[in-house]
Amino acid sequence: MGARVSGYDDWVVQLTTGDPIPANTLVWTAGVTPAPAIGSLQVEKIKGRLKVNEFLELTGHEGVVWAVGDCAAVPDGRGSLHPPTAQHGLRQGLAAANNIAAAVNGAASKPFRFSTIGQLASIGHHTGVAQVLGMRFSGFAAWWLWRSVYLAKLPGLAKKVRVAIQWTLDLLFSRQIEQFLTLKDLEQIERLAAMLHVTRKQEPEPLGHTAKLVAPSSHMPVAATRFRHLRDGAGAA
């Protein structure tokens, strides 16, 4: 389509070209981009990320400014850059703090060196994928490892206990899928029905056809009217 998704609201996908697409289901994937706040900084960058040296010092402002995490392009010592993941960002923060303290005390800074331990992901239904120390595996074991690491990273004992109890209940009992319609849901259905009706009316008729067929969407305004009456009646009550 030659366009990118710019937003999703009220069951409508917004594109960069300005053409909306009605959708009940949205599957979203995206990478990691630096914070927009650093876009206006007049410093050297690599693909939008601040260029730093091995000591996490900003290029051109060594010993004064340090950068870590998603906004920093940190060299890995092998001619490439560290990936912008949490396990790297956390350790970069500690390394930068130590180097800032060393600069204040007049000591020597230490270069940041770290290799990825592994990558974990949950893909649903008690199944996961993992790559740990070069080994790749999937299934329940990968999912269990992902949950264990996630639980260990949660701050506070109380939160860990609550999450562990909830996860244990999810293993013992099946998920209850329920949905309650609210006035906001009815308004969204009404807007979606109206948009679909307008789209159907704007579609050109096939050449060679003289008779006009009535599309199923002609019933949508009736449904929308019923939803409007239901909504207005609930508001009056």
Distance from the first to the final alpha carbon of the chain: 46
Tens-digit pLDDT profile for residues 71-113: 999 999 888 999 888 889 999 999 999 999 999 999 999 999 9
- Residue 107, SS3 per DSSP: coil
**DSSP string over 26-71:** ----------GGGGG--S-EETTEEEB-TT-BBTTSTTT-B--GGG
pLDDT digits (tens, 9 = 90+) for 103-114: 999 999 999 999
What pLDDT is recorded for position 229? 52
Residue 210 has pLDDT above 70, yes or no: no
Judge whether residue 134 has pLDDT over 70: yes
Mean pLDDT, the chain, integer: 82
Q: pLDDT class for 211, splitting at 50, 70, 90?
A: very low
